[in-house]
Every structure is written in structure tokens, then in C-alpha cells.
């Protein structure tokens, strides 16, 4: 290494905040090539003598590179650099980014193929890059000038867009935040059985409950008649199925789940078919255990003009004995409206039942004294929005997944969403942490999907590119996530619950992740 007496002798650059490599501070610097230096005290620096990044031929950053800033993320060290140039009375602004390994800060993991920001404007000024500073979900870029005060621009933080370039998907996947959610090697765990007419076409979107030392799954099944009913399996370890019943345990009992006579009555059909099952039935169940009662919420579809949320229940005792004494279902969403993905919290909040009925654009929770839904409280006045948030992986948040799981940091809520601008028609899974006392407050939200539909069983089926999660349980410190793949089969993935929640919170502000290597 080359001894450099102090920081003043270094070319323009920036030290990585909140980060030490072998007990030394790290600084990326340079005004043509990008180099790296180390310091024990922040004053006296040793140059590694290693060029970690240089201009790239036939690319937007073929000119000299100047470091504008560094951001420590959970994916690595993000270095923002300028590669602008001047022509007569014209400045060509180009900004790129590169990611370095926090375990080996001289190791390049990835660099952008396209500019993070570009702009041209007429001026005789000499524009010099100054800095790139993270401000919430934005990045503030600034330049100085020999004739004026310079300029700055705020852009969406690049950390939110690391996965947008499909041409570099494999490379980008390596730097996207890893939530350590692992699919089970024997997925799918529930598949259709052709011999059983009621579940011959699809067995997907399972609800889950852990009780009596077992994981119990109630899954949506579609058979020869295209009606959706609910089947049952159980697993001792949460992965291998130990018991599977040969008959449905729940079938549509309410008028909203029966094939509608309105097909002949002149009532206009709604534009809706979810995962097949065009004849209606019970769709996408969720299970919530509150005290000694197991509540079942699901979408009731009559196959024609009505799509409403329905509620039934059963005692835990009867459920474990497989005595299917379900209460008569009631519809809890107003008629004439389309609602899906309603979930009940697993314990009362401030003495009341809590029903989460929307997460877009805000978290909406209805608090109820009971779940009888009578008289003035016959329906929950739910709100559903198709509002889009351009610039996020979850630009269209579709709905909640399983009922929230209580953790020491807050309520863990999984959800499904789509990026209608950058990756349309693919249902991905995200996660939020909600405040324990007021779950309408979001503490943290994953900046990237926790799971994407990349496996064959998530694409080969009724609807390609679909992860649809309706069930999750905590078992021995592990979070088991149950979801439907391609609207056809049921799958499971797992992660350590405590670590997963910490990662979600960290992803709200990526730079707070500190790595100290000894």
C-alpha cells in the first residue's frame, strides 16, 4: 500500500459511513479511475494501490469517473459516480453506480449498464460533480460551477431500482436484498388429484394454522365442475404432508357462493375469474385463531355478478377433531362491491376484534365489539383502491396475504403486489411491519420483494407468474409461508422469523446496516 499523509492529498472521494473493514475506515476516491484507501484514524490514509473501477468502453461512463457519494446498503457498498463531459456550450451529465462487496470492499459485484441520471443543458460554465446524498427515499445529486452556485436534482433512490434491468437479471439478483426466504426443495407440497373430481384441476392458496402440534392447511380446490371448495391437509413438520382428506371440508353454503341464477336474469356479469373456478364458490381462505374460535374468511363468488367477503367459524376443539361444524357463513362486505383479501387479527386490539380490509393506499382496519355483523353493523364498509405508486416494485399493492403475525417489533403482514410499470402481470410477495397498538401505522415495508415467481411451479399452470400467499405460521422460531403457485398448486417457503423482521426494518433505511469485519 502507498502511504498518504492526510485526506487532503486524496483526489475527490467519500468515506463509507457506519462501516469498518478490518477496523479501518474505507474511502473511495478518484477523478479518472476510482481507487480505495484505508485509515485507522480518518486522517492518515493508506492507498491500496488498486483501481476498483475505471471508464468502460462503448458505455455511458466511458469518460473519467468521479466519486459523488457512497451508501452502505444491506446488499453492499453502493458507490455513486459522475462520468459527465463537456462539448462546446453543452454539458452532458451522466451518473452511474457500482456495488462493492462489504466483505471485500475492493471486489466489484456489479456496475450499472445504463445511467442512473442523465441530462444535457446549454452553458459555458465548467460544471464539477460535488456530492450524492441520501434523503429518505431519494438521492440528492449536486454539482458546482465556476460561474454560478451550481445545481442539484433529487431522484428516487437507486437502491429501489437495482432489479429493473432485465438484461442483467442474474447479476442484479445477486445484489438485491436477500431476505433469506427459502423455498422447500419438494415444492409443490399439494397438487391436484385427477381421481378426486372436486380437486382435479387446482389445489392452491392454502390458509394455515398451527395447533395441536401440527400445521393444518385449508386449500382452495377446483374440480371438474369449476366450483371452488376447500380441502384439508396436515403436516407435523410443516413441509411433508402426513394427512390429506379425500373430501372437501367446506363448501359454499351461502347464496353468494352458489352458481348464480342471475346468468339468466339479465344481471350484468362482473369482469372477474380468479384462478379458474368460473362457476363460483369459496376462494382464497384465511384462518385466524382468536382465543378458542377459529375464524374463516374467504371470497364468496357466485360465478356471475357478486364477489364479496364471507365469514364462518368453528371451535378449535371441533376443528382438531375434524368435526366440521362450521357456522353458517355470512357476507361481511356490502353488496354491489368487489372485495378480497380481508383478514382478522389473531387477538383483540384495545378490547375489540380488528378486521384489516385494505392496504392500498393506506392500511384500513375496522374495530368491532363482536363478529356477529347484525343490525347497524351488518357490513364492514371496506375500501379498495387501484392506485399506483410508480417507482416502486409494488407499484400496485393488490392485498393482504395471511392474517398478521405478532412479533416483538410489530405485526408482520405479508402482502402481494405487482410492478405494473416495470414487470407487469407478475404477483410478487412483500412484507410490512405494523404498529402493535395502532396497526394502521406502517413501521417498515420491504423495499424489494421477499419472493418472486421464478420457479417452474409458479409459472406452469392456470396463471403464470403468480405467488399468492394466504397462510403463514410461526413454528420453533421459523416463519413458514404457504402460497399458491400459478393458481394451480400449493407451496411452502421458510425463514427465521426474528432475522426476517429485522431485515424488513433494515430495508426501510438500507444504510443503517453496519458490517464490522475483524
Q: What is the set of domains in the chain, with CATH numbers?
A: 2-175 (2.115.10.20), 182-258+275-509 (2.115.10.20)
Q: pLDDT band at residue 406, thresholds of 50, 70 and 90?
A: very high
Residues 6+ apart with CB under 8 A from 155: 116, 117, 138, 139, 141
pLDDT at 273: 55
Give the span between the Cα atoms of 238 and 216, in whole angstroms: 9
Residues 6+ apart with CB under 8 A from 162: 75, 99, 172, 175, 176, 448
| 230-234, 331-335, 423-427, 440-444, range with greatest mean pLDDT | 230-234
Residue percentage of the chain with pLDDT more than 90:
59
pLDDT at 88: 82
Query: What are 4's three cell numbers?
Result: 498518504
| 161-175, 328-342, 359-373, 472-486, range with greatest mean pLDDT | 472-486
Q: What is the mean pLDDT of residues 487-502?
A: 97
pLDDT at 510: 36
**Quick one: the chain helix, strand, coil %, rounded to 5?**
10, 45, 45
DSSP code for 159: G
Q: pLDDT band at residue 361, thresholds of 50, 70 and 90?
A: confident
pLDDT at 237: 98
Structural contact between residues 144 and 127, judged by C-beta atoms closer than 8 angstroms: yes
pLDDT at 34: 95
pLDDT at 115: 82
- Which of 244, 229, 238, 242 shows the shortest CA–CA distance to 285? 229
Return the higher-pLDDT residue of 172 and 451.
Answer: 451
Query: What are 53's three cell numbers?
Result: 473501477
pLDDT at 256: 58
- The strand ranges marked E within 85-126 are 85-87, 90-100, 108-111, 117-122
Q: pLDDT band at residue 226, thresholds of 50, 70 and 90?
A: very high
- H or E element that contains 79: strand 76-82
Give the span between the Cα atoms of 457 and 452, in whole angstroms: 12
pLDDT for residue 513 is more than 60: no
* 307: phi then psi, degrees, rounded to nearest 5: -140, 100
Q: What is the mean pLDDT of residues 414-421?
A: 90
Angstrom CA distances, 495 to 232, 394, 427, stand at: 24, 21, 20
pLDDT for residue 378 is more than 90: no
pLDDT for residue 117 is more than 70: yes
pLDDT at 177: 59
pLDDT for residue 169 is more than 50: no
pLDDT for residue 166 is more than 60: no
SS3 category, 210: strand
pLDDT at 264: 40
Amino acid at each position: 500500500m502507498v502511504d498518504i499523509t492526510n485526506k487532503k492529498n486524496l483526489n475527490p472521494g467519500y468515506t463509507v459511513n457506519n462501516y469498518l473493514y478490518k477496523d479501518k475506515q474505507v474511502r473511495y476516491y478518484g477523478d479518472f479511475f476510482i481507487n480505495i484507501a484505508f485509515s485507522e484514524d480518518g486522517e492518515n490514509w493508506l492507498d491500496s494501490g488498486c483501481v476498483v473501477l475505471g471508464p468502460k468502453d462503448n458505455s455511458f461512463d466511458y469518460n473519467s469517473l468521479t466519486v459523488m457519494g457512497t451508501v452502505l446498503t444491506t446488499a453492499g457498498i453502493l458507490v455513486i459516480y459522475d462520468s459527465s463531459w463537456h462539448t462546446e456550450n453543452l454539458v452532458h451529465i451522466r451518473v452511474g453506480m457500482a456495488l462493492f462487496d462489504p466483505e471485500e470492499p475492493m471486489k466489484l459485484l456489479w456496475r450499472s449498464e445504463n445511467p442512473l441520471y442523465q441530462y444535457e443543458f446549454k452553458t459555458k460554465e465548467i460544471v464539477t460533480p460535488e456530492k450524492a446524498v441520501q434523503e429518505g427515499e431519494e438521492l440528492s445529486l449536486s454539482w458546482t460551477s465556476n460561474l454560478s452556485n451550481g445545481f442539484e436534482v433529487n431522484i428516487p433512490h437507486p437502491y429501489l431500482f437495482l432489479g429493473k434491468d432485465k438484461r442483467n437479471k442474474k447479476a442484479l439478483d445477486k445484489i438485491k436484498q436477500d431476505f433469506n426466504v427459502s423455498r422447500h426443495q419438494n415444492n409443490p407440497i399439494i397438487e391436484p388429484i385427477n381421481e378426486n373430481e372436486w380437486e382435479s384441476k387446482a389445489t392452491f392458496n392454502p390458509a394455515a394454522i398451527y395447533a395441536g402440534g401440527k400445521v393444518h392447511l385449508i386449500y382452495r380446490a377446483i374440480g371438474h365442475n369449476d366450483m371452488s371448495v376447500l380441502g384439508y391437509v396436515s403436516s407435523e413438520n410443516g413441509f411433508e404432508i402426513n394427512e390429506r382428506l379425500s373430501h372437501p371440508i367446506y363448501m359454499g353454503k351461502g347464496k353468494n357462493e352458489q352458481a348464480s341464477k342471475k346468468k339468466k336474469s339479465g344481471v350484468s356479469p362482473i369482469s372477474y375469474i380468479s384462478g379458474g373456478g368460473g362457476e363460483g364458490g369459496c376462494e382464497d381462505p384465511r384462518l385466524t385463531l382468536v382465543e378458542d374460535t377459529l375464524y374463516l374468511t374467504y371470497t364468496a363468488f357466485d360465478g356471475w355478478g357478486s364477489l364479496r367477503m364471507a365469514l364462518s367459524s368453528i371451535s378449535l376443539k371441533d376443528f382438531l377433531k375434524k368435526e366440521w361444524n362450521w357456522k353458517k357463513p355470512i357476507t361481511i362486505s356490502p353488496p354491489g362491491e368487489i372485495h378480497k383479501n380481508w383478514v382478522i387479527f389473531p387477538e383483540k386490539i384495545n378490547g375489540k376484534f380488528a378486521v384489516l380490509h385494505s392496504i392500498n393506499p393506506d392500511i384500513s382496519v375496522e374495530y368491532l365489539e363482536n363478529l356477529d355483523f347484525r343490525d347497524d353493523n351488518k357490513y364492514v364498509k371496506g375500501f379498495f383502491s387501484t392506485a399506483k405508486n410508480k417507482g416502486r416494485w409494488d407499484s400496485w399493492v393488490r392485498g393482504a396475504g395471511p392474517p398478521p403475525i405478532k412479533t416483538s417489533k410489530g405485526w408482520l403482514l405479508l402482502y402481494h403486489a405487482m410492478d405494473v410499470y416495470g414487470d407487469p402481470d407478475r404477483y410478487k410477495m412483500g412484507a410490512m411491519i405494523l404498529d402493535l397498538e395502532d396497526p394502521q401505522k406502517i413501521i417498515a415495508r420491504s423495499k424489494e420483494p421477499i419472493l418472486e415467481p421464478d420457479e417452474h411451479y409458479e409459472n406452469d399452470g392456470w396463471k403464470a407468474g403468480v405467488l399468492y400467499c394466504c397462510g403463514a405460521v410461526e413454528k420453533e422460531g421459523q416463519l413458514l409461508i404457504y402460497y399458491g403457485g400459478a393458481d394451480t398448486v400449493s407451496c411452502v417457503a421458510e425463514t427465521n422469523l426474528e432475522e426476517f423482521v429485522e431485515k424488513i426494518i433494515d430495508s426501510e433505511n438500507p444504510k443503517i446496516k453496519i458490517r464490522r469485519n475483524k
